[in-house]
Amino acid sequence: MLLQHWLKQHSFNNNLVGLDIESDVIKLLKVTYTESQQKVESFAISSLPTGAIVKDEIKDYDTVVTVLKDMFSQCHLGNSSIALAIPRSSAIIKTVTIDNRLNEAEIESRAWVEANRNFPELVGDIYLDFNVLGPSAQDSSQLDLILVACRKEQIDPYLELLRQSNLDAKIVDVNCYALERALSVVTQKIPSSEAVALLNLNFTLSTLIITQEEKLIYAHDHSYDGLRLITQIRKHLHDEGKHIADPIEEQASLADDATYAEILKENLSSHLRHTMHFFYSSRPNITIQKIILAGDCATIPNLTSYIQQETNIETALANPFANMAFAWGVDSKKLKAHAPTLMLCYGLALSKLD
């Protein structure tokens, strides 16, 4: 019933593939749904050669195109419609108020007027989108309008990459909104009054979003060297004759591993303190009740326990696929192991096409 209610509140598209392109890895996911059930149709995760993408700049189109074509061919997805995301740190987001009597065309015109007023030096070089949030809390005769812009130079290379891969970019989202969409499914059984955080730790980026009362109340990106953390963890586990398998299964054997704990402390403690302080300094009246852990680093064993210990906040691994069906050929064991890393893909796969 929860899923049925959730689906009725959201108008998502069954034909989109969520695509997450990072410097070291590409992930894709396709999910379909009926009124009573969601189904994972296909997913794939492929590593990229070092140097193909550096700091979000595509250096080797041919290599990345080859990887993309192979992934979509193996998943039998053909010339798919794509939803992808840019980092929150690459987006310009501004909320303005407008007259509630404006019609749709007038709202669009007003959006460009406000964009020109708020960032005039950029307005000729950006892609702009907007959405009416609802009546303004300060004035019922006004509407809150959110403007989202990004420099064309940051998006165009990825659009060209998809074009060369015979893929059709339908949606370019901002990572925080896609993650919020995925989180709304994962936290359906958590009271909406609670403030819930999603900490998405990737190879190069850490994203923290907070939701409360079914609204995104905070989103921020921080640079983070997750690749260094994972590399050190893998080396240590290899030296100890262990490996990163199911994070839950590995926890017991690492509980008393002092070197392992020291690696986590060295690579993560100060980042966690900075991230949480940054949030609480801007929202001192909000208390986070739960942290959901996602991203490339979430597969590190014992990481949820470590973060819970450091923050004193209940922490759990993200698994958006816990109650889903799987199409024939989907490796459910592999999907479970990588579930936390696919949260962004999942949120993108649930994007709305107007």
Q: What is the DSSP string of 257-298?
A: -HHHHHHHHHHHHHHHHHHHHHHHHH-TT--EEEEEEESGGG
pLDDT of residue 253: 59
Domain ranges of the chain: 2-89+153-349, 90-152
| Mean of all residue pLDDT scores within the chain | 89
- Average pLDDT over every residue of 253-274: 88
- Determine the pLDDT at residue 182: 95
* pLDDT over threshold 80, residue 250: no
Q: What DSSP state is assigned to residue 124?
A: G
pLDDT in tens, 237-249: 888 776 655 444 5
Indicate if the pLDDT at residue 315 is higher than 60.
Answer: yes
The pLDDT score that the predictor gives to residue 60 is 97
Query: Which of these CATH numbers, 3.20.20.30, 3.80.30.20, 3.30.420.40, 3.10.105.10, describes 2-89+153-349?
Result: 3.30.420.40
- Chain centroid, CA 274 distance in Å: 20
**DSSP helix, strand, coil percent of the chain (3-state; round to 5):** 40, 30, 30
Per-residue pLDDT reduced to its tens digit, 320-345: 998 899 999 999 999 999 999 999 99
The pLDDT of residue 11:
52
Confidence label for 14 from pLDDT (cuts 50, 70 and 90): low
Indicate if 90-152 has the same CATH topology as 2-89+153-349: no
The model's pTM is 0.90
Residue 325 tokens, joined: 């069906």
Is 183 in contact with 211 (CB distance < 8 Å)?
A: yes
Transcribe 27-96 into DSSP letters.
Answer: EEEEEEE-SS-EEEEEEEEEE--TTSEETTEES-HHHHHHHHHHHHHHTT--S-EEEEEE-GGG-EEEEE
Give SS3 for 129: strand
Tell me the CATH architecture of domain 90-152. 2-Layer Sandwich (3.30)
Whose structure tokens read 């030096």?
121
**Cβ distance 53 to 22 under 8 Å?**
yes
Query: Could you tell me the pLDDT band of residue 4, with boundaries at 50, 70 and 90?
Result: very low
Q: Is the separation of the CB atoms in 20 and 345 below 8 Å?
A: yes
Instruction: Grade residue 272 by pLDDT with cuts at 50, 70 and 90.
Output: very high
- What confidence tens digit (pLDDT) does each residue in 136-176 have? 988 989 999 999 999 999 999 999 999 999 999 999 999 99
Q: Is the dihedral of CA 304, 309, 310, 313 positive or negative?
A: positive
Pairing mode of beta strands 195-201, 205-212: antiparallel
What pLDDT was estimated at residue 1?
A: 33
pLDDT at residue 84 in the model: 95
Strands 314-317 and 288-294: parallel
**61 — pLDDT class (breaks 50, 70, 90):** very high
Would strands 25-33 and 16-21 be described as parallel, antiparallel, or unpaired? antiparallel
